[in-house]
Structure 1
Amino acid sequence: MSLVHRDKQSETVDGQMNLAMEHTDELMGQGGTGSEVASESVTFVQDISVGVFTKLVKGEMVLSEKSKQVVTVKVLQDKSGSDEEKCFLSEIRFFKALAIHENIISMLGYITAKAPLCIVFEYCPHGNLKDFLLDLHREVRKVDEDELEESTINQLLQFASQIANGMDFLEKIGCVHRTLAAKSVHVGHGKVCKIAEFGFSSIVMDVNTYEKLTKGRIPIRWMALESILECVYTPKTDVWSYGIVLWEIFSFGNKPYPDMPIKDVIRELRHGYRLPAPKHADEMMYSLMNECWQDDPEVDQLLKNCQFYRTGFPMNKDVKHH
């Protein structure tokens, strides 16, 4: 890992981070994780994925003279500007204040004293959920795609429940994710889903910055109409995105609205069109998806219903069918 010293940067990082998210601690309380780590303690092994302003790298972090830990490192790339840097620093502070949750990715540390800025996360050996589902589909097709094994169905339901559990936690602390998709969920040890990619969450950055950074690259296929047309982001719009993730899960990672260009997606959504039921979703699961895509979904109840799907909706059995 080649690092270049950033003149006077280390003197200003804490101030920038404090200004970025003054209200975060009030929402989440104390009990976050991660601290500044020496750049020399982190080694890059190989790229996992490369984005516009950041990339994910598989790496190793030295814990002691005799111990290393495999980690995922989010790296701010050189071409990023001041807005992207501010967002990155704010994401660090978000995780510093965030309590540990089994279905939210954990930050182990960060590097701000030298370039490039880095966030060190727990390593998820199964990659992102979208790629995992695509791989799983290839395996399923070798056997019998029409009749899924019970273990496969249970795996899909477990993913749905785990993500709902994580989103329920985020809703309770006042965090709107904004860009939830199967690709922004990582699959950790034991095939446990971890919601990640908080760079554009509303608790990290303001709407104006979000619009600037994502112009031309916003994830339309996962967004509620009010987010697309009015730039409105709330827990209810996150629930819409969660419904799309449910659709991705039960279609084994297929792209939402696969046969429609973006302009047609927007037009059809305005006319009331919704994604059809995936092949492997039963009536009640598809009913849940449709509940997510209503104009005024009951966020808390919907997420609880999704968490407890396999146990028969103990929180509320009055789920609508479409």
Structure 2
Amino acid sequence: CGVHAASRHDRLYSRPFIESFEETPMLVAVLTYMGYGILTIFGYLRDFLRHWKIERCHIAREREEQQDFVPLYQDFENFYTRNLYMRIRDNWNRPICSVPGEKMDLMERVSHDFNWTFKYTGRVVPDVINLGSYNYLGFAENQGPCADAAAQITMTYGAGVASTRQEIGNLDRHEEMEKLVAKFLGLESAMAFGMGFATNSMNIPALVGKGCLILSDELNHASLVLGARLSGSTIRVFKHNNMQSLEKLLREAIVHGQPRTHRPWKKILIVVEGIYRYAYVNKIVWHSFVPLGGFRRFSSINAY
């Protein structure tokens, strides 16, 4: 649904803008928070009963011989794991026994120790809707047009190039894809990579360094955040998908330049994602200042 989001930013920006996103129903939000609230209250009650030896369930707490070890988590994280996560752990990390397509088969499991360990019953739960797998284009299927096309390309080009593109691993399909991506995004050029986390964390330091500025979306993936920090550039964060916030920072960067010296930034890198938090499909837009004051646009697309 389209939501008019200008009211949230009227204090900062005079021009309204439109954001489109799906809002969480109020009833769902309230029930969710109520559920976690009830679990939290009972968790503190159970910790109190365990402390005074009233509750004899020792499975849901640390073993006595480990009490003197340096804790790996903060106190509340331990509390959350013991009393909340373990109660509902069976909802996550469900083992599958089929391809992770639009539907998949789950292996049924049961627990007799408050979800600390599981045992398989041997029964299979068929045709469960898959809502947690990276299968946007259908490549996870073992039949259909994607599988047939992958088999045909494998027969033509082999299973892989076994080398970097800079050496002997560049194919005509790589260049064809880059031209198609650049045309789709309306950019001058594009670069395609075959990796996710390493692409962002290792290539951003190759693009910018000291004396450069990175404008990063506040919800960018950890790989982008790590790459920005490793680059040694100055980092400024703008509000998620908020072009007014980005424009404000960009204008200030152009007008004021670098701190203290006020010299122009060597480069300004604007880093955003294509799909946030759900997959390593990121778009990096690079605005590089050239001597005549123009811009050069660059796009990097990597899919994991």
Give the alignment's TM-score, normalised by structure 1: 0.22
Bigger share in helix: 1
Structure number with greater Rg is: 2
Bigger share in strand: 2
Give the alignment's TM-score, normalised by structure 2: 0.23
Larger RCO, structure (CA 8 Å, separation 6 or more): 1
